Structure 1
Amino acid sequence: MSQYNQSRRKFVSSMLAMAGGSALPFSLNLAAMGSAAAQNASDYKALVCLFLNGGNDHFNTVLPTDPESWRAYQQLRTTADGGSIALPGVGASGGVLPISPTNAAAGRSFALHPSMAAMKTLFDGGRAAIVANVGTLVGPLTLAQYKAGSAAVPPRLFSHNDQQALWQSVQANGAGDFGWGGRIADLIAANTNSAFTAISTAGTALLLSGQKVRQYQVSGSGPKPIANLDDKLFGVPAAANPLRQIVTADSSEPLFKEHAAVTARAISSNATLSSALPPAGAGGVPDPAPYINPNTGVASVNPLALQLQTVARIIAARGTLGLKRQVFYVSLGGFDTHDFQRANQADLLAKVAHAVAYFDSTMASLQGADMRKQVTLFTASDFGRTFTSNGDGTDHGWGSHHFVVGGAVKGRNIYGTMPVTGVGHNLDVSSGSLLPTMSVDQYGATLAIWFGLSWTQTADIFPNIVNFDGRNQAFMNPA
């Protein structure tokens, strides 16, 4: 049924596109019919997806530290030849950082990676939560069903590109054209200017692909104009530069006509956004503090923090741009840690913690306004990794732990099912790779409900959600 509904939506979209301008009012009415509550909203909300490209090793990110768990952890993260990717324990030099979830089961204790001191501060302060063992699922699945092949599983597990696409689209057949962030933006329909509803600082993101809303891309440092558009070019004075006319000229050829329309729209949008943004640094949105590499002690600029600074600048311009709801996509690569995991992940997680803490502090006083309850950042990644080490790193897994950060988050808690530490348990599909106990559909739907969507709308966006109980995982405070 879900696949049929997807095909029907694509058919209707195609018919509207073929009908041309006369179909546009009907298309807009469809959006309005599905989002009356959002149209009347006077507040502002933003979702910010932080995608960890490559598949983050969650077992060294969030760690159970009770004695039984820690013994199993130390043993299984050490190879027969003595190599180890295990981290030092609580209290040791450079050891893991203890946290105290308010909902921790009796006898269990937890910690974060040593590089995540800034994330620990957010967690301890109640502005961050951990969502355990999230992954792509079609429906509830047991280990016996997985091994027997007696229940549906997501297509092409353990593949980077396929699982990134499935995390961002959650389409029933695993090959969706639309992302769930873009579809949320389609249905919320709350902005006067829809051009800046879905924005990526990290290139094209499937997550932001909507049926009506077009994602807008900026660089990590902000919007970039078409080069030489208004400058002297090949000896031609700026005033006589014909480049703008050339790239926006109308044509009777459909392809050229569409290219000119897209280019003209890009030029106009860039001018609008650039003029609305407050500056970066003094007098505007503050610059991030220097990032200190935990391995070398060398200070540098954190590219992820710069992406989040750009997000903050755009949020600061929300009033000028007529925006009430936005979805953002930022990313950091390098998490495919088959080798050199101890050093590489320490650097990567330190960048994540540094950038997220900077973003939280910036939202606390964004041009005089505390926006933390209105902006929620959440992490996503291709998949988790194996518990057992390949010698110097880990291999592709499935379920993984994630962070949700913001003033609307029910913080200082771990949501979902934190698995036992080890291998051979009822969630171990191979080498400690986790069978997820929370679907991406449930994770995304919980965020979508906070954002303002109804359950009917979330079922349209997340086609597998009807297969699960506990659709709302309750890690967000009600709006």
Structure 2
Amino acid sequence: MPYSNEQSRRAFLSLCLKGGASIAALTSLQLQALASSASSSTINDYKALVCIFLHGGSDSLNMLVPTSGSERADYEQSRQNLVVTEPITLNTTTHFSGGVGLHPSMSALEPIFNAGQLGFVGGVGTLITPTSLADYKNKAVPLPGHLFSHNDQQATWMHGQEKVSLNTGWGARILERLNQHASFTSNISLAGANPWQVGANTTPYALNKNGITKINALRGYQPQVDHVKSIVDRLLSTTTNPIQDAYASRLSSSISNVQNMNALLEQAPTLNTQFSDNPLSEQLAAVAKSLSISNQTGNKRQIFFVSLGGFDTHDDQLIRQPALFATLATALSEFHSALAELSLQESVTTFTMSDFGRTLTSNGDGTDHGWAGNQLLMGAAVNGKELHGTMLSQQLESAIDVGGGRLIPQFSNEQYFAPIAKWFGLSDIEVSDIFPNLANFDAAALQLFK
């Protein structure tokens, strides 16, 4: 339940007094954002975000490919043995010279795209400020740290900006900014711990892909949850050690959460949509099951995290990539059908993130770590049937190639995140506060929602 204005005012005063922070130490932007949060009205509608993280760095330059003209010739010359043949032509609202073709393994997405409920974002990646090739070579502008590094770039995508001393993810921050983080069911991960869902006052609830979570306290011993909880409660009532108190309290709360979630999921309706047995479909099936009980949880905003690995295609790309793209497309199509069953198409937006794009050049059997790439987002609220951003030139040694076919992003990932956060319910001021580098770019460049 959202805070009242009085609660928000007290929370702000408490922050200033207990944290030792003075009003003078806060930026005017932060003060405006706090004021906006304190005066915001109660949220009456329901919305959810589903983040699909493609671990390893997806070669999304082969997800969307040119289909004709000199653009196609450049693509074929640069990609060599990795060229995608017979792509599916996408009739995007915006015309792009050379056309836009979708990898044929992703054919399951074509009807969703044509229905206007799927869009792409082209040429996006981690940036601090607009960067040219000369800027990059001369180090004339600040650059993201540790480019082409899996761990660092994953962190930047999930934190929503360069990490530095930041330890919270942008998914958690938008949830907290809307005061929608109090319930453990508002922040659910089907893929374990991740930075995107960690906030100052919230951490993800890890849900098993099968939905129901079991308590296995000891190997070979599976007691009733109520019995485990009674033991913990007795420990909590007898200990005088503050560390033991904190641990027992946390454990007791976790067990209660499992009990409550299981009780709700047991009431979930059976969907007609059949999900495949691939890992991503199984995770999205569990998300759909959780969404089906959103009325019972009372949440007005929820975030979900799922993932698919295997995109670090240094080798065997011709075999591995079609299978990965097919898995992604199949899972998204099934999830789209489930949302239609639940009448939640307008309320749920699903989007992808990945470490980075990959090199235009082939290493003989695959690709290496790159920079700019393409992402997709799905939902009835999405401005679909469109490629937002740009169709990257796939010409080697072009004005955006820093070497080896690593392409400079033409749009920052914060430009991609900002419309998503705004659709979720944040004001322009709050969005700018959460994504500080957005001030260096055109914040309205990507019109991702209707």
Q: TM-score range by the shorter chain?
A: 0.7 to 0.9
Aligned to 2:350: 377
**What amino acid is the match of 1:73?**
Y
**What amino acid is the match of 1:71?**
A
Contact preservation (8 Å) 2:156, 2:162? no
Q: Find the residue that maps to 1:288 and give its secondary structure.
A: coil
Once the two structures are TM-superposed, the CA of residue 256 in structure 1 deviates from its matched residue by 2.4
Alignment map for 1:230-269 (pairs within 5 Å):
233=221, 244-246=230-232, 249-250=235-236, 251-269=239-257
In structure 2, relative to structure 1, the CA distance for the partners of 1:112 and 1:248 (3 Å cut) is farther
Aligned to 1:460: 433
Match of 2:82 among 82, 85, 97: 85
Aligned to 2:414: 441
Once the two structures are TM-superposed, the CA of residue 210 in structure 1 deviates from its matched residue by 1.1
Q: Find the residue that maps to 1:138 and give its secondary structure.
A: coil
Match of 1:206 among 177, 195, 216: 195
Aligned to 1:219: 208
Aligned length: 425
- Structure-2-length-normalised TM-score: 0.88
- Measure the CA separation in 2 of the matches of 1:32 and 1:470: 21
Note the residue ranges of structure 2 that are not aligned, 5 or more in a row.
1-13, 21-31
Alignment map for 1:225-374 (pairs within 5 Å):
225-227=214-216, 233=221, 244-246=230-232, 249-250=235-236, 251-277=239-265, 283-286=269-272, 288-290=274-276, 301-366=277-342, 370-374=343-347
Aligned to 2:88: 97
Q: Find the residue that maps to 1:186 and give its secondary structure.
A: helix
In structure 2, relative to structure 1, the CA distance for the partners of 1:178 and 1:239 (3 Å cut) is closer
**What amino acid is the match of 1:308?**
L
In structure 2, relative to structure 1, the CA distance for the partners of 1:312 and 1:240 (3 Å cut) is closer
CA deviation map 1:178-224 (0-9, x unaligned): 00000001011247x52111111000010011112222111222241
Higher mean alpha-carbon deviation, 324-333 vs 429-438, is at 429-438
CA deviation map 1:248-287 (0-9, x unaligned): 722333332222122111111111111112567xx51345
Aligned to 1:63: 65
Aligned to 1:150: 140
Match of 2:173 among 145, 165, 183: 183
In structure 2, relative to structure 1, the CA distance for the partners of 1:437 and 1:178 (3 Å cut) is same
Aligned to 2:46: 44
- Measure the CA separation in 2 of the matches of 1:378 and 1:102: 20
- Structure-1-length-normalised TM-score: 0.83
Once the two structures are TM-superposed, the CA of residue 425 in structure 1 deviates from its matched residue by 1.3
Match of 1:451 among 406, 409, 424: 424
Higher mean alpha-carbon deviation, 243-252 vs 49-58, is at 243-252
Aligned to 1:128: 118
- Measure the CA separation in 2 of the matches of 1:442 and 1:225: 40
Aligned to 2:375: 402
Contact preservation (8 Å) 1:49, 1:379? yes
- Measure the CA separation in 2 of the matches of 1:266 and 1:13: 27
Contact preservation (8 Å) 1:134, 1:400? yes
Aligned to 2:7: none
Once the two structures are TM-superposed, the CA of residue 432 in structure 1 deviates from its matched residue by 1.5
The answer on 1:473 being equivalent to 2:446 is yes
In structure 2, relative to structure 1, the CA distance for the partners of 1:239 and 1:164 (3 Å cut) is closer
Contact preservation (8 Å) 1:119, 1:356? yes
Match of 1:429 among 395, 399, 402: 402
RMSD: 2.7
Contact preservation (8 Å) 2:68, 2:99? yes
**What amino acid is the match of 2:373?**
S
Contact preservation (8 Å) 2:33, 2:433? no
- Measure the CA separation in 1 of the matches of 2:226 and 2:280: 39
Contact preservation (8 Å) 1:232, 1:238? no
Once the two structures are TM-superposed, the CA of residue 101 in structure 1 deviates from its matched residue by 0.5
Q: Find the residue that maps to 2:58 and give its secondary structure.
A: coil
Once the two structures are TM-superposed, the CA of residue 233 in structure 1 deviates from its matched residue by 4.0
Contact preservation (8 Å) 1:130, 1:414? yes
Once the two structures are TM-superposed, the CA of residue 241 in structure 1 deviates from its matched residue by 5.6
